[in-house]
């Protein structure tokens, strides 16, 4: 289905050409939503300035050539020269009858996109910050796939670096057995902390750890095997969280820091050869232009430390270089916490200066804001440690289950568990996705699970209610699948218009990396449905035709609601 704004844009292209000539065919008609009509086109204002006429006169000339026959009412010019556009109910009804509301047109030129997201660290607990990078990244991956782009998921896990010497020695000390496997895959922090404490207290352990790092970096086979074991335990843990969260990442998407080991030396050599990197205080550094510290001095991006080791920045340079040169993608989304903004700006500037990135390739840091506790500070446990994600999620499911006890649906114990999981996890994910990704929000399970308001349970409940209406219709053998749609009531027209806005929202989410726009849209849709349902009797409509039309409209809302929630990675239970 073409989006409503694409349809209008095409009509404007024809009108602009007819009125002002071929040069104006590609002019953006500046279509925006409007308080006074379905949409308004604002193109007359910039055009008037350019052509030296009055905006209202320009608007009138456009309208004279604008063919909206069978689509919209005759356009009206308002204010300084806005063109108000209002679809006819017949057009909206026919479109709903003939088009699949959840389908989008195949892109003429699909993009190849790397989405770098989740990225927890081996032998460490995933914290709520990783919840956001995981959930937002997954929603973007699902959205791009939905609209026909090619997505390459890359989970840039922290699986390399100096702590691994200490972690491998700890693994040898406690022994490679099922108990250790279980500890690391259930409570990785305990293992990490124990290693840390020993490293600080036991000189012999510290020495062993340091030589272990050297062996690891030197590619010693036995050490690599131990490292592999350790990473494997963490993988089990990550996968358990991903499956609990209904996240699409798999082992095939792992592309951790270690992936780039063999490129690091070449990256440094190349930067040096191109005159971009130089020695400073014993370390090899790049000073990308335009970055200065508070003291006004150029800021360094350290690519090789004075001890010869490589760090986080070198790995990211190697990763972006491969993404451009081997994967050949059009766009890379880095779904990572806002505090890393400077890191990415410097990495991107360096990679561009090195000539690795084609001119039109987009590198984008999708900045992720903080998750706060009720005290307004970054969410932590009472003891001050970062909160365990697995515990938070379990708590959400428990509370969702308690709330279900008040529902009058009679669930078997298995159903109750399943629905509690869909609602509890959905609530946490939705709360995260419904705020702009770069702002912070307060983690508050009560608010997330509230049945009313902009929450997952509210949307899921709307879906479950439609399912129940459709079940009743089926029980009464009422056919409506091909029924003509009638949009006589304002609430019906509003609902139809909202439904048809879905493909535009998908395009916006993908273009601007903003899943919260989908959340906002779905909330509007659910509200439009609630208003419709209050004002327009469905099963007891005045006539069989009206009843069939309203059932068909309701069924369409359900498919759009489910499609929209599915790109956010949230399901709708059969009953609630
Ligand atoms: N592991 C890092 C962290 O936990 C995030 C890595 C993000 N991705 C990247 N390409 N640097 O903060």
- CATH number for position 30: 3.30.1360.70
Q: Tell me if residue 286 falls in helix, strand or coil.
A: strand
Q: Which residue, by CA, sits nearest to atom 8 of ligand 1?
A: 156
Confidence class of residue 384 from pLDDT cuts 50, 70 and 90?
low
Q: Is 118 close to ligand 1, i.e. is its CB under 6 Å away?
A: no
CATH no. for residue 461? 1.10.730.10
Q: Which residue, by CA, sits nearest to atom 6 of ligand 1?
A: 119
Q: Which residue, by CA, sits nearest to atom 9 of ligand 1?
A: 156
Confidence class of residue 129 from pLDDT cuts 50, 70 and 90?
confident
* Residue 387 scores a pLDDT above 80: no
Looking at ligand 1, which atom is closest to the CA of residue 343? 11
Q: Would residue 184 count as lying in a domain? A: yes
Confidence class of residue 183 from pLDDT cuts 50, 70 and 90?
confident
Residue showing tokens 């750890």: 209
Are 20 and 81 in a shared domain?
yes
Interval between CA 429 and ligand 1 midpoint (Å): 20
Are 351 and 296 in a shared domain?
yes
* ipTM of the modeled complex: 0.99
Are 126 and 274 in a shared domain?
yes
> Which of the listed residues 117, 336, 348, 367 should we mutate to test ligand 1's pocket, taking the one with most ligand atoms within 8 A of CB?
336
Are 264 and 138 in a shared domain?
yes
Interval between CA 311 and ligand 1 midpoint (Å): 12
Q: Cα(555)–Cα(551) distance, rounded to whole angstroms?
A: 6
Interval between CA 190 and ligand 1 midpoint (Å): 22
Q: Would residue 211 count as lying in a domain? A: yes
Q: Does residue 123 contact residue 184 with C-beta atoms inside 8 Å?
A: yes
Q: Is 212 close to ligand 1, i.e. is its CB under 6 Å away?
A: no
Looking at ligand 1, which atom is closest to the CA of residue 312? 11
* Residue 567 scores a pLDDT above 80: yes
Position 382 scores a pLDDT of 62
Are 154 and 262 in a shared domain?
yes
- Nearest CA to 282 out of 307, 301, 300, 264 is that of 307
Last residue of a domain, one of 448, 468, 499: 448
* pLDDT tens-digit map of 305-319: 998 889 999 999 999
Q: Is 463 close to ligand 1, i.e. is its CB under 6 Å away?
A: no
Q: Cα(299)–Cα(475) distance, rounded to whole angstroms?
A: 70
Q: Would residue 122 count as lying in a domain? A: yes
Are 146 and 271 in a shared domain?
yes
Confidence class of residue 1 from pLDDT cuts 50, 70 and 90?
confident
Are 133 and 238 in a shared domain?
no
Are 263 and 354 in a shared domain?
yes
**Which stretch, 24-28, 35-39, 292-296, 348-352, has highest mean pLDDT?**
348-352
Last residue of a domain, one of 246, 281, 307: 246
Q: Would residue 409 count as lying in a domain? A: yes
Confidence class of residue 261 from pLDDT cuts 50, 70 and 90?
very high
Q: Would residue 382 count as lying in a domain? A: no
Position 278 scores a pLDDT of 96
Range of the domain at 65: 4-87
Interval between CA 245 and ligand 1 midpoint (Å): 19
Number of Cβ atoms within 10 Å of the Cβ of 231? 19
pLDDT cut 70: percent of the chain above it: 99
Average pLDDT, the chain: 94
Last residue of a domain, one of 371, 406, 435: 371
Q: Is 159 close to ligand 1, i.e. is its CB under 6 Å away?
A: no
Are 335 and 411 in a shared domain?
no
Are 343 and 197 in a shared domain?
no
Q: Is 316 close to ligand 1, i.e. is its CB under 6 Å away?
A: yes
Looking at ligand 1, which atom is closest to the CA of residue 158? 1
Interval between CA 242 and ligand 1 midpoint (Å): 17
* pLDDT tens-digit map of 442-460: 999 999 999 999 999 999 9
Position 186 scores a pLDDT of 82
Q: What is the pTM of this model?
A: 0.95
Q: Would residue 573 count as lying in a domain? A: no
* pLDDT tens-digit map of 459-483: 999 999 999 999 999 999 999 999 9
Structure tokens at 474: 């089926």
The long-range contacts involving 294-299, CB below 8 angstroms and separated by at least 24 positions, are 299/342, 299/346
* pLDDT tens-digit map of 495-545: 999 999 999 999 999 999 999 999 999 999 999 999 999 999 999 999 999
Q: Would residue 303 count as lying in a domain? A: yes
Total domains, the chain: 5
Q: Would residue 26 count as lying in a domain? A: yes
Are 152 and 261 in a shared domain?
yes
Position 405 scores a pLDDT of 85
* pLDDT tens-digit map of 22-49: 999 999 999 999 999 999 999 999 999 9
Position 298 scores a pLDDT of 95
DSSP state of 327: S
Instruction: Tell me the average pLDDT across 221-239.
Output: 95
Q: Does residue 43 contact residue 16 with C-beta atoms inside 8 Å?
A: yes
CATH no. for residue 318? 3.40.50.620
Interval between CA 87 and ligand 1 midpoint (Å): 47
Instruction: Tell me the average pLDDT across 163-184.
Output: 92
- CA 212, 216, 222, 228 torsion: positive or negative? positive
Are 269 and 127 in a shared domain?
yes
Q: Cα(546)–Cα(552) distance, rounded to whole angstroms?
A: 10
Instruction: Tell me the average pLDDT across 187-199.
Output: 90
């Amino acid at each position: 289905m073409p989006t409503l704004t694409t349809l209008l844009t095409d009509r404007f292209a024809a009108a602009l050409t007819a009125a002002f000539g071929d040069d104006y065919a590609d002019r953006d008609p500046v279509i925006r939503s409007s308080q006074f009509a379905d949409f308004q086109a604002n193109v007359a204002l910039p055009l008037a300035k350019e052509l030296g006429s009055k905006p209202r006169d320009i608007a009138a000339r456009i309208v004279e050539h604008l063919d909206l026959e069978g689509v919209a009412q005759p356009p009206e010019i308002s204010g300084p020269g806005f063109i108000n556009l209002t679809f006819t109910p017949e057009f909206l009804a026919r479109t709903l009858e003939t088009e699949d509301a959840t389908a989008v047109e195949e892109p003429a030129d699909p993009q190849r996109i790397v989405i770098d997201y989740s990225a927890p660290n081996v032998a460490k607990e995933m914290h709520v910050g990783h919840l956001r990078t995981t959930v937002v990244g997954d929603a973007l991956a699902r959205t791009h796939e939905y609209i026909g782009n090619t997505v390459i998921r890359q989970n840039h896990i922290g699986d390399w670096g100096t702590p691994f010497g200490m972690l491998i020695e700890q693994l040898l000390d406690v022994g490679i057995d099922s108990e250790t496997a279980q500890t690391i895959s259930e409570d990785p922090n305990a293992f990490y902390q124990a290693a840390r404490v020993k490293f600080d207290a036991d000189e012999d352990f510290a020495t062993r750890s340091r030589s272990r790092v050297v062996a690891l970096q030197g590619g010693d086979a036995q050490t690599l095997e131990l490292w592999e074991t350790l990473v494997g335990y963490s993988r089990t843990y990550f996968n358990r969280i991903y499956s609990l969260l209904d996240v699409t990442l798999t082992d095939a998407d792992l592309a951790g820091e270690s992936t780039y080991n063999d490129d690091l030396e070449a990256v440094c050599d190349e930067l040096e050869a191109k005159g971009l990197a130089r020695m400073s205080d014993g370390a090899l550094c790049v000073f990308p232009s335009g970055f200065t510290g508070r003291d006004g001095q150029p800021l360094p991006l350290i690519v090789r430390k004075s001890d010869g080791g490589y760090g986080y920045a070198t790995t990211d340079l190697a990763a972006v270089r491969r993404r451009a040169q081997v994967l050949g993608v059009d766009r890379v989304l880095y779904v990572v916490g806002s505090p890393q903004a400077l890191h990415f700006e410097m990495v991107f500037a360096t990679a561009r200066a090195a000539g690795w990135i084609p001119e039109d390739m987009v590198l984008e840091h999708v900045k992720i804001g903080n998750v706060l506790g009720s005290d307004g500070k970054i969410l932590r446990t009472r003891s001050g440690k970062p909160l365990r994600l697995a515990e938070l999620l379990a708590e959400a499911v428990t509370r969702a289950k308690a709330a279900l006890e008040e529902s009058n649906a009679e669930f078997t114990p298995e159903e109750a568990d399943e629905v509690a999981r869909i609602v509890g996890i959905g609530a946490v994910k939705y709360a995260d996705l419904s705020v702009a990704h770069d702002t912070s929000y307060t983690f508050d399970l009560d608010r997330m699970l509230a049945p009313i308001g902009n929450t997952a349970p509210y949307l899921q409940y709307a879906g479950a209610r439609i399912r129940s209406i459709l079940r009743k219709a089926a029980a009464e053998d009422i056919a409506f699948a091909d029924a003509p749609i009638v949009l006589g009531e304002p609430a019906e027209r509003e609902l139809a218009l909202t439904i048809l806005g879905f493909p535009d929202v998908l395009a916006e989410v993908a273009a601007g990396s903003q899943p919260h726009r989908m959340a906002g849209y779905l909330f509007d849709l659910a509200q439009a449905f609630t208003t419709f349902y209050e004002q327009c009797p469905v099963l007891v409509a005045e006539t069989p035709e009206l009843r069939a039309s309203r059932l068909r409209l309701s069924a369409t809302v359900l498919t759009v609601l489910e499609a929209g929630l599915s790109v956010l990675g949230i399901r709708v239970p059969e009953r609630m």
